[in-house]
Amino acid sequence: MRTLMMRYFKISRRDDSSLMIHVQVRSRDITTKNCAQPPEPEQDFIAPNNSEDMQNQIKIIEMDEIPPPIDELSYCSGSSEEKERDAKSLAVLLGVESHEAKMHSSRPVVVGHRGLVYEEMENTLPAFQKAADIGCDAVELDVFLLLCGTLIVFHGGGPENLGALDESCGQSGNIMDLNYEQVKQLKMNVDNPEFVCPRDKVEDAVIPTLEEVLVFAKERGLRISLELKGPDTSDPVLNLVEEFDMVDQITFSSFDLERIARIRELRPHIDPATQTHVYKTAALFEDVPDDLLQVVMRAGASEVHLRYDTCTRSRIDAIHALGMSTLAWLKSPPLMEHDCAVNYLDIGNEDERLFQTIMNSGVRSICTNRPDVLIRHLMSSC
């Protein structure tokens, strides 16, 4: 006899603005075809509307909303085909209705990941211009600080080699060791599989300064999800954004939460009308820590940006209940192609099925390599 114990929770706002956290434990016999769920003891907790008290109380939530492992849930299926289907279903993983059901009640914000990357070279002015032209609400971009003090828009390198030039430019070195005159001479690597635009767009690409991008975005009224990619970017980026009077168009984001915590330390301002932060910051996550809610609250984040396949419905609800917004970000084009061919068989490669499944989680923004497809899907759903 194998019994799977699961805890479910629901968060609601009380009249006195405190949070009611309702937890229910259920057991599931996974050795039988029928998945009986007899209710077990339930508990309620109250988290006061106070940041310090809430951080103390939030530990009771932990990450109980994470669905049980799919291989255990699949014992409830009646056939091997159903087990395989559920094990490779994004909808099952997120705990949402399939793409055939449209559960999202509002239009998500459409964010072009590094611009419109299938038509123009990523993180360049033409890519951002095309994204604005097709109707994106915002674009996402990455920022580094050069040796000369210039801020530039560039993605190169991963967490362990931030700013590396090998994959992006086909040469050794790091972009943070260069000045802008040297950066202007860099040529992009046409053989990099991450670059999915036409070859001639890669060959002609020019790495822009953040200032150039801000000038364009201000003229077009385009919002920016601005990732503080490199070290020591928080202060100079903040100063430049304020110089352009663009605070209302920018969300400062980073995987390194110290960088957004620095923004919050410098600019803790609260809008008295909305009781929300004037300076928007977003905590970015590849994988989700068990103490997610505590972590983002300590960083003073106003938004949480999660990898698309970690946006469970209950996790999104929990973030919203604490007054923070959410964004689902998609991986690079080659990784998305792999995910949709191997890991999740109920969706296509950044197609309408994928977007509707993500939308069913209730997430408020989607950052995608194919914003054109998402926009068409939203228009056809009206």
Name the pLDDT band for 160 (thresholds 50, 70, 90): confident
**pTM, 2 dp:** 0.82
On average, the pLDDT of the chain sits at 85
Count other Cβ atoms within 10 Å, centred on residue 9: 19
Which has the higher per-residue pLDDT, 45 or 116?
116
Q: Answer yes or no: are the C-beta atoms of 13 and 22 closer than 8 Å.
A: no
Among the residue ranges 62-71, 196-205, 329-338, the one predicted with the least confidence is 62-71
What lies within 8 Å, CB to CB, of 237 at 6+ separation is: 143, 151, 210, 226, 228, 252
Name the pLDDT band for 315 (thresholds 50, 70, 90): very high
Question: Three-state DSSP class for 346?
Answer: coil
* 70 backbone dihedrals φ, ψ, rounded to 5°: -65, -30
The closest of 10, 6, 2 to 317, measured between CA atoms, is 10
For residue 324 the two structure tokens come to 């923070």
* Residue 4: predicted pLDDT: 37
Exposure string over 217-236, b if 16+ CB within 10 A, otherwise e: beeeebbbbbbbbbeebbeb
